[in-house]
Structures are given as C-alpha cells and as structure tokens.
Copies of this chain bind each other. A is one copy, B any other.
Amino acid sequence: MGPTKLEPAVALAELQGSKTERVTIVLLSADFDRVMAAFIIATCAAPMGMQVTMFFTFWGLNVIRKEGATSGAKDLLRRMFGFLNKGGAGRLPLSRFHFGGLGTNMMKRVMQQNRMPGIPELRETAMDLGVKFIACTTTMGMMGVTKDTLIEGVDQLAGVSTYLAEARQGSVNLFI
C-alpha cells in the first residue's frame, strides 16, 4: 500500500508531510572534480535516508556512457561531435590543471594512495544505493548520444519536466 521504491526514512518523512528529504542533482559538467563531487554527495545522501535523483545532461551524459563508446548517431555531424565527446566515466579531465592529463592523473594517484574510490566505483555505489539515474532526452540528440551507448542501470530517459517534478518536491536541488 505504501510507496514501493522509497527508503523507509523517505517513506516516513513523506507520511509526515516533510518536503525536504529529496536531493536532485543536474549534472551538466563532465569535469572530473565536479563529477566526483556529485557522486560523493549522492552516495552520502542516500544512506542518510534521502531520495536522490541525478539528471545527466549535456557533457554529463558522458558519465553514463559505456567505456570508449563513440556516437551511435547516423549522420556525420553528430558522429563527429560524439567522437570528440568520447564516453567513459574513467577518463574525465579536471576543471583546472588538467595539463593534457598530467594534473588529472596526479589527483587519481593521490586518490589511489588514499584508497579512495574513483568515478566508476562511485557510480556503481550510487546505483546500489538506489540513486535514480535519468538521462536527459532533450540534450541526447544534441550531443550525439544514443540509447544503446548508455550503460545499463539508467532508470529513465526523460526530459526536464520529469526532473522538475522531482525537484519541486525537495529542497536540496543542485546544478553541477
């Protein structure tokens, strides 16, 4: 009878009429640091009983593309764009000090030394914790990203109105 896909704490909060137990994240960026931040917040919020939705749009779509996937688009223009914009959460650049990969690799090595999970691991943890993944259909076409190049486990392909319907129910709504 009660809500089915919700964590117990979320269900309780909703019964109590609370509106603050949702987190939504629009992930437009594919910068290594911003994507890390998004997943750290998502994987921290879910065990605190918050219902988390991540809405992947523009460059953020790369984060949920299969490793090494180029565009599945048929026309030349979108194929070119999809090629530039290669998939795979394992090789995103830093927003600063990328230095052709040097700075990014340096940070990854520091993370390994500290046994911190990388983006592919955080993404899997997020999925295991029930974080909802939505791929933005409005921008998939623009970015030359097709459905078959997305990883398994994406919950929904939808537009901005689906995102807004979730965001309006919560109060932690971040644009990253």
8 CB < 8 A contacts A-B: A26-B41, A30-B96, A48-B161, A78-B110, A167-B172, A173-B173, A174-B175, A175-B175
Given contacts A20-B168, A173-B171, contact A80 B59 (CB under 8 A): no
Which residues of B have CB within 8 Å of A171? 19-20, 167-168, 170-171, 173
The chain B residue with its CB closest to the CB of A97 is B84
Question: Bound complex: CA of A113 vs CA of B111, how far in Å?
Answer: 43
B50–A111 contact, CB under 8 A?
A: no
Identical chains bound together, number: 3
Question: Bound complex: CA of A85 vs CA of B33, how far in Å?
Answer: 14
Contacting residue for A59 out of B26, B95, B169, B170, CB 8 A: B95
A159 within 8 A of B: yes
Q: Mark contacts of A158-169 with chain B using CB atoms, 8 A cut-off: 1 yes-contact digit, 0 otherwise.
A: 011101110111
Question: Measuring CB to CB, which residues of chain A are less than 8 angstroms from any residue of chain B?
Answer: 19-21, 23, 26, 28-30, 33-34, 36-37, 40-41, 44-45, 48, 50, 57-59, 75, 77-78, 80-81, 84-85, 95-97, 103, 106-107, 109-111, 113-114, 116, 138, 141-142, 144, 159-161, 163-165, 167-176
The chain B residue with its CB closest to the CB of A18 is B19
Which residues of B have CB within 8 Å of A45? 164
Question: Bound complex: CA of A141 vs CA of B115, how far in Å?
Answer: 11
Contacting residue for A116 out of B142, B165, B176, CB 8 A: B142
A107–B142 contact, CB under 8 A?
A: yes
Task: List the 4 closest pairs (A to B, CB-CB), nearest first.
Answer: A174-B175, A44-B160, A171-B171, A33-B58
CB distance from A8 to the nearest CB of B (A): 16
